[in-house]
Amino acid sequence: MLDQFDPRLDADFAAVDPAVLRARLEPLLPAGGLLTRLEAIRPYESDGLPAYRALPAAVALPETVEQVAAVLKACRDLGVPVVARGAGTGLSGGALPFPGGVLLVLSKFSRILGIDPVAMTARVQPGVRNLAVSEAAAPHGLFYAPDPSSQLACSIGGNVAENAGGVHCLKYGPTVHNILSAQVVTLDGEILTLGGPASDAAGYDLMALFTGSEGLLGVVTEVLLRLQPLPETTRLILAAFDDVGRAAGAVAAIMAAGVVPAGLEMMDGPALRAAEDFAGAGYPRDAAAILLCEIDGQAEDVAEEIERVSGLLRGAGATEVRIARDEAERRRFWAGRKGAFPAMGRLAPDYYCIDGTIPRKSLPFVLAEMGRLSEVHGLGVANVFHAGDGNLHPLILYDANLEGDLEKAEALGGAILELCVSVGGSITGEHGVGREKINQMCVQFSEAEVNAFHALKAAFDPLGLLNPGKAIPTLARCAEYGGMHVHKGALPFAHLERF
Amino acid sequence: MSTKEPFPLPTSNGSDTDLTAALAEAVRAAASERTPLEIRGAGTHAGMGGPVAGIPLAMTGHRGVVDYDPAELVLTARAGTPLSEVEALLAENGQMLAFEPPRLGSGGTLGGAVATGLSGPRRPFTGALRDYVLGARILDGRGQALRFGGTVFKNVAGFDAFRLMAGAHGTLGVLLDISLRVVPRPAVEAARVLDLPSGEALRKVADLMRRPLPLSGAFHDGRRLHLRLSGGPAGVEAAVARIGGEAADPWGWDAIRDLAHPVLAGGQGLWRISLPRTGPAGDFADLPWDQGGGVRWLAAETPSPGAWDQAAALGGHIERIRGTAGPAFQPLPPALLALHRRVKTALDPDGLFNPGRMYAEV
């Protein structure tokens, strides 16, 4: 299990006496801001990937940026690893504590500091929930576009760390397109502003580098978000297909025709039926796949596009094309899609969500290949995709109470990610590498590239204390893992000693 | 290799050529001699930085579109490919670059556009150049070819070092090839001109931008407001009716994009002052502006001595586009400059690439 950190393959730090750590950190934090008792820190042992668990030595709950800086500096002086955590909804184990380290929880940073409706920006603290921003912006006719499915609970700081996406990033871009600046604190306790209130900043685009860096470079303490005008009209089309390949063809046809949908989602038979049972969304239960295509914009344009897309869907062989009649039906169609993950509880006791990205043209091949892998590994897979941007979320169905089933699920997940890389895709579209995909990084990147990532990390965190063992694998890990994975006939990391 | 002779790289004969191996060898040779390199495209953006004392490394021979499938909306091309060829190929397929890179002369390359990081008038409406870079292959300071990012829309594996290349002016690596997300061309475009003084025009644009209108350009020439709309025929027509003003030729926007509009062209120098779009503009309030007020244009040999501090105090910064009077870039606060230096060293430990182009320290 990957929640076991290996000093040889991940990171090795000298143990620090918990009493020394406590004596050093407690005075830096408000009363009750340092948790060390087992029952108090237990709730923080895992994030949105509950299969991975580890206990930190202490949980710090700072309330000001100065306290964040002081805690980071103290950890640097003591040589103690630090993992930052927002709402803990991440799906890749990115906020999994480092055993014996400090977990820095930003939940007290929960204020929206201001909304400027004229500049169309929101200045927020990192603990603010994603959806709360759009709710606060709505009275001004504005919204915050990135909408990960966890948007009710996930925090903006975590969104920045993961470069979070969501259904609507097909049109509006992921987090990095929607932030202007971030105040960050480095391990040295230095408070820096990356980016700025103008549309670009002087020097290197360090804000873009920082976004999606999974807590390896610094801790976000404030973010200036870009808001968008709420679209005048939003319409949703549901199309049913009796063949998954034809649905994939329809996706290609829509994108090639020059339509930019606000969202373009696909669900296969098992996923749509489970979602229908769960949410009563009104999906056609006998379909092999459905597409949900949302068009937003000015009323006149939306009406035109809806006509066009309906024609394209029929031309691509849709057996049924339904346009949501009203807002209630539109919400119901979405409810099924957004409830797809919890709905998996109807198919199996547990599911494991994968997050690969592929070029859209490879979709039919990848679907067929995934079916084959599912049989080889003996576990079922239900498929939910952000089809428009080629982001797959295969849900591997397993039973954690069955001996060896989780390991089987992990192995199938790894095989699917490597399939994504083999067609020119990526091991993660929006969930991040975290702890979960640390081994697959060795498949997607060469030794020189991994070295470059470590060098960039060292520019911010020379001691390697921020979120160790996550996102970027050590070369030792790649040597060990690479031994089992010969890629295109070449053994990666060949010159390194294998343990 | 002690002279300043260019590396013997083939120059472009107009055909697609992959010079990765020769470029890597040149970088390795420079590394072994500790001789800096001046990475050269077509030189159209030469005014955008300081002089580099290094051996020229000519990129224009490394050219050609490597992969383009219109249905995928992704294009990958070598850095030396002329931007005009990339844009012509996209136009044939009803697509375009959303960030509308300025052409500051003929022959400008894709690599130069990415390295200088300039986004055109569409910037506040469709996003920045770096938002559309999906991946890049570069040579690092050891002459190793590294691939960051990829050719898919969504990809969060590894640090986004490819976005960092946008606007780094070649100081972090030699761009080999670049993968871009491209977008469909709008069905129709319309241009309008309104007789509004600068301050009133700014308020008008800020108000329009808060509404879901198909705006794609907002430029003020000092006297009049120029607006552009892009989208579906019905939506653009409705927006035109709402906005009013006189009709103008949408092609006029090419001159605004390419900084060839009469208020921007000619003169001793041109400076781009980025400011918060709707904030106070201090001494820059009367300058022509683009991007809804986010960019003020100063046509002068050099900004006034106090201009740099004022731009910073207003939350913005200044960079030189044309001219030779220095500095070419806004000075950075010490902590940020130190971080720049460390990031530079991470990818180019011997300081081979374009030293002095941006800052003396990188």
In a domain? residue B292: yes
Residues 174-193 of A with CB under 8 A from B: 174, 176-177, 190, 192
- Nearest by CB to B164, which of A118, A204, A305? A204
Residues of chain B above pLDDT 70, percent: 98
A198:B275 CB<8 A: yes
For residues A431 and A353, give the distance between their C-alpha atoms in angstroms, rounded to a whole number: 10
Tracing tokens 């025709």 back to the chain, one arrives at: A257
- Nearest by CB to B156, which of A119, A430, A448? A430
**Which residue type, as a one-letter code, is found at position B246?**
E
Q: Provide the CA A391 distance to its chain's centre, in angstroms.
A: 11
A453:B159 CB<8 A: yes
- Domain that residue B292 falls in: 270-322
B156:A205 CB<8 A: no
A449 touches chain B (CB under 8 A): yes
Are the C-beta atoms of A422 and A351 separated by less than 8 Å?
no
- Backbone φ and ψ for A210, nearest 5 degrees, come out as -70, -40
At A496, the pLDDT band (50, 70, 90 cuts) reads: low
The pLDDT value given to residue A499:
43
**How many other CB atoms sit within 10 Å of the CB of residue A114?**
11
Q: What is the dihedral of CA A481, A483, A485, A490, to 10 degrees?
A: 130
The pLDDT value given to residue B3:
47
pLDDT at A157 over 60: yes
Q: If residue B317 lies in a helix (H) or strand (E), which one and from where to where?
A: strand B317-322
pLDDT at A419 over 50: yes
For residues A466 and A468, give the distance between their C-alpha atoms in angstroms, rounded to a whole number: 6
**What is the CA angle A14-A15-A20, rounded to 5?**
120
Are the C-beta atoms of A371 and A417 separated by less than 8 Å?
no
A199:B317 CB<8 A: no
- Nearest by CB to B274, which of A200, A217, A301? A200
At B49, the pLDDT band (50, 70, 90 cuts) reads: very high
In a domain? residue B285: yes
B164:A459 CB<8 A: no
CA distance B203 to chain A (A): 9
- Nearest by CB to A203, which of B130, B142, B336? B336
Mean pLDDT taken over chain A = 94
For residue A467, CA distances in Å to A97, A98, A386, B36 come to 8, 7, 29, 36
- Nearest by CB to A426, which of B157, B233, B277? B157
A205 touches chain B (CB under 8 A): yes
For residue B17, CA distances in Å to A313, B58, B60, B81, B150 come to 41, 13, 10, 10, 21
In a domain? residue B276: yes
**What is the CA angle B166-B330-B315, rounded to 5?**
90
At A481, the pLDDT band (50, 70, 90 cuts) reads: confident
Residue of B nearest to A211 (CA): B160
CA distance B3 to chain A (A): 30
Q: Provide the CA A347 distance to its chain's centre, in angstroms.
A: 24
CA distance B266 to chain A (A): 25
CA distance B112 to chain A (A): 16
For residues B54 and A25, give the distance between their C-alpha atoms in angstroms, rounded to a whole number: 50
CA distance A499 to chain B (A): 25
**How many other CB atoms sit within 10 Å of the CB of residue B103?**
21
Are the C-beta atoms of A200 and B274 separated by less than 8 Å?
yes
Interface test with B, best of A159, A180, A183, A199 (most B CBs within 10 A): A199
In a domain? residue B275: yes
Q: What's the domain count of chain B?
A: 1
Query: What's the predicted TM-score (pTM) here?
Result: 0.96
The predicted-structure confidence for A197-208, as pLDDT tens digits, reads as follows 999 999 999 999
Residues 455-494 of A with CB under 8 A from B: 455-460, 471-472
pLDDT at B4 over 70: no
- Nearest by CB to A229, which of B94, B210, B235? B210
Q: If residue A296 lies in a helix (H) or strand (E), which one and from where to where?
A: strand A289-297
CA distance B149 to chain A (A): 9
The pLDDT value given to residue A345:
85
A209:B159 CB<8 A: yes
- Nearest by CB to A201, which of B94, B151, B317? B317
B131:A173 CB<8 A: yes
CA distance A273 to chain B (A): 27
pLDDT at A497 over 70: no
Question: A133 Cβ partners below 8 Å, 6+ apart?
Answer: A112, A122, A124, A144, A156, A225, A227
Mean pLDDT within B218-247: 96
Contacts of B335 in chain A (CB under 8 A): 190, 192
pLDDT at A486 over 70: no
State the complex-level ipTM: 0.96
Residue of B nearest to A227 (CA): B210
In a domain? residue B203: no
Residue of A nearest to B124 (CA): A199
Residues of chain A above pLDDT 90, percent: 89
For residues A264 and A259, give the distance between their C-alpha atoms in angstroms, rounded to a whole number: 11
For residues B192 and B64, give the distance between their C-alpha atoms in angstroms, rounded to a whole number: 37
In a domain? residue B307: yes
A298:B235 CB<8 A: yes
Select the more confidently predicted residue: A16 or A346.
Answer: A16
- Nearest by CB to A205, which of B150, B164, B359? B164
A300:B238 CB<8 A: yes
The predicted-structure confidence for A422-472, as pLDDT tens digits, reads as follows 999 999 999 999 999 999 999 999 999 999 999 999 999 999 999 999 999
Q: Which residues of B280-313 are buried (b: 16+ CB within 10 A; e: fewer)?
A: ebbbbeebbbbbbbbbbbbbbebbeeebbebbbe
At B334, the pLDDT band (50, 70, 90 cuts) reads: very high
- Backbone φ and ψ for A143, nearest 5 degrees, come out as -150, 165
The predicted-structure confidence for B83-137, as pLDDT tens digits, reads as follows 999 999 999 999 999 999 999 999 999 999 999 999 999 999 999 999 999 999 9
B345:A453 CB<8 A: no
Half-sphere exposure of A484 (CA within 13 A, CB side): 12
B237:A448 CB<8 A: no
CA distance A318 to chain B (A): 19
CA distance A405 to chain B (A): 27
Contacts of A118 in chain B (CB under 8 A): 206, 210, 278
In a domain? residue B121: no
Which structure tokens are listed for A43? 């709730």
A256:B70 CB<8 A: yes
Instruction: Name the nearest CA neighbour of B46 among B323, B260, B261, B329.
Output: B323
In a domain? residue B282: yes
CA distance A403 to chain B (A): 31
Mean pLDDT taken over chain B = 95
Contacts of A459 in chain B (CB under 8 A): 339, 342-343, 345-346
Q: How many CB pairs under 8 A join A and B?
A: 264
Instruction: Name the nearest CA neighbour of A140 among A228, A70, A64, A61.
Output: A228
The pLDDT value given to residue B326:
82
The pLDDT value given to residue A494:
54
pLDDT at A132 over 60: yes
Residues of chain A above pLDDT 70, percent: 96
For residues A71 and A78, give the distance between their C-alpha atoms in angstroms, rounded to a whole number: 11
The predicted-structure confidence for A74-99, as pLDDT tens digits, reads as follows 999 999 999 999 999 999 999 999 99
- Nearest by CB to A203, which of B74, B146, B332? B332
